[in-house]
Copies of this chain bind each other. A is one copy, B any other.
Amino acid sequence: MDAKIVDVAAKAGVSPATVSRVLNQASGVTSKTRNKVMKAVEELNYHPNAAAKNLRQQKTMNIGVIAQDINNAYFTEIIKGIENMAYAQKYRVFICDAENQLEKEREYMTMLMDRTMDGVILIAPQLLDEEICEMADKGYYVAVIGRNIEHPRIPCIYTDNVKFSRQVMEHLLSNGHRDIVFLNGYPEAIDSYERLEGYLKALKDNQIPFRPELVENGDFNETGGYEAMKRLFDKNIPFTAVYAANDEMALGVYQACAERGISIPNQLAVVGVDNNRISKYVTPALSTVNQPKYTMGAILVEKFIDQMNDNQFADQRVFVVDSELLIRGSSNYKMK
């Protein structure tokens, strides 16, 4: 149906090799033949068949991004950073939605083995470190956003959870809070673990004894946060602040408080993590931690492409970026 390189060659009165040279290296061809060829290309609206090209060149210039959930702006913002930087380097980015399913994540990894993609960027993968390392060992290009995978060939970028977690705590403590709830995500996630770690360290730094009954799991989603709060209220123990490991769960906290007539921030301070767009719109606006999402995507993909092109690192493999605490109405109140 569409024109092939031989058609272009015939029309321009040259060999297919010449057509290829015109379209690719752009040198070693007289301008006269180049013009002839370009004219034929235009007239036939010729586009080299990607499959043939990929097969012969053993590369595709495609990068896959596997996100856990494209409905979540946290991921899509990162992806925009990836996409724009990759685009500038002539790579095409294809986004895959794993929908929080490990099986889908794994299925998308086959894109590497069947060579549909030159490389794959995993954002906050559920895959185990070992699985990811194994792929890298086999020579596939993999990069990870969200945690550090200890493997010399895997570029990684992530934020220092412990650090910002302590900042959140210092903020609450400085407002006079002592009985602070920590609403955890699902406990297997590294983010959960590290945010909890920051919570604990901050308590220790301030000589406040850790009370395990103040920690609940909320699975990183709104309903989970809501249920967790209900469990906490039922315990009938006093607390004046909630540090939720993400904004989604914090929204659940708002809901639970609304039901009980508890006023934020006067009776309860709330802080989340992620700077979900919604956090700005709720009443009161939710204090949260903002990660430089776009930049994280951009930095990582740039290094990744470097590596794919040279098959070695120019310099750094691991990037740790800082987050910023955004203090809003939900925690902007000093306890007496």
Interface residues of A (CB under 8 A from B): 1-2, 45, 47-55, 60, 70-71, 73, 76-77, 79-80, 83-84, 93-97, 99, 110-111, 113-116, 138-139, 251, 277-278, 281-283
**Between-chain CB contacts (< 8 Å), 18 pairs:** A2-B138, A47-B114, A49-B55, A49-B114, A50-B111, A50-B116, A51-B51, A53-B114, A70-B79, A71-B77, A71-B80, A84-B99, A94-B94, A94-B96, A95-B95, A278-B278, A281-B281, A282-B282
Q: Are B94 and A47 in contact (CB under 8 A)?
A: no
Inter-chain pairs besides A45-B113, A51-B115, 9 sampled, C-beta below 8 Å:
A2-B113, A47-B110, A47-B113, A47-B114, A51-B54, A70-B80, A83-B99, A278-B278, A282-B282
Residues of B near A99 (CB, < 8 A) are 80, 83-84
Residue of B nearest to A117 (CB): B50
Is chain A's interface secondary structure helix, strand, loop, or mixed overall?
A: mixed
Bound Cα distance A73, B80 (Å):
15
A59 to B283 alpha-carbon distance, docked (Å): 52
Instruction: Look across to chain B and name the residue whose beta carbon is closest to the beta carbon of A73.
Output: B71
Given A70-B70, A281-B281, A282-B281, CB of A94 within 8 Å of CB of B95: yes
Determine the distance from Cα of A94 to Cα of B96 in the docked complex, in whole angstroms: 6
Residues of B within 8 A of A73 (CB): 71, 73
Question: What's the number of copies of this chain in the assembled complex?
Answer: 2
Shortest A331–chain B CB gap in Å is: 18
Q: Do A70 and B54 have beta carbons less than 8 Å apart? A: no
A93 to chain B, nearest CB (A): 8
Most B CB within 10 A of own CB, among A47, A50, A77: A50
- Are A50 and B114 in contact, with the CB atoms below 8 A? yes
Determine whether the beta carbon of B48 is less than 8 Å from that of A114: yes
- Find chain B residues with CB under 8 A from A60 CB: 51
Most buried by B among A1, A54, A70: A70
Contact A55 B45 (CB under 8 A): no
Whole-angstrom distance from the CB of A200 to the nearest CB of chain B? 31
| In the complex, chain B residues whose CB is within 8 Å of the CB of A138 | 1-2
Q: Do the beta carbons of A79 and B50 come within 8 Å of each other?
A: no
Are A97 and B114 in touch, CB under 8 angstroms? no
A55 contact set on B, CB distance < 8 A: 49, 51-52, 55
User: Which residue of chain B has the shortest Cβ distance to A48 in the bound complex?
Assistant: B114
* Chain B residue with Cβ nearest A255: B281
Q: Given the complex of chains A and B, what is the CA–CA distance between A45 and B110 in angstroms?
A: 11
Closest 5 CB pairs of A and B: A51-B54, A95-B95, A51-B55, A94-B94, A47-B113
State A52–B60 Cα separation when bound (angstroms).
12
CB distance from A256 to the nearest CB of B (A): 15
Contact A80 B97, beta carbon cutoff 8 Å: yes
A48 to chain B, nearest CB (A): 6
> Nearest Cβ distance between residue A232 and chain B, in whole angstroms?
22
**A115 and B50 contact, Cβ closer than 8 Å, known pairs A95-B95, A282-B281:** yes
A2 to B115, CA, bound (A): 10
Interchain CA distance A138-B123 in the complex, whole Å = 38
A110 vs B2: C-alpha distance in the bound complex, in angstroms? 12
Q: Do B70 and A95 touch across chains, with their CB atoms under 8 A apart?
A: yes
A59 nearest CB neighbor, chain B only: B51
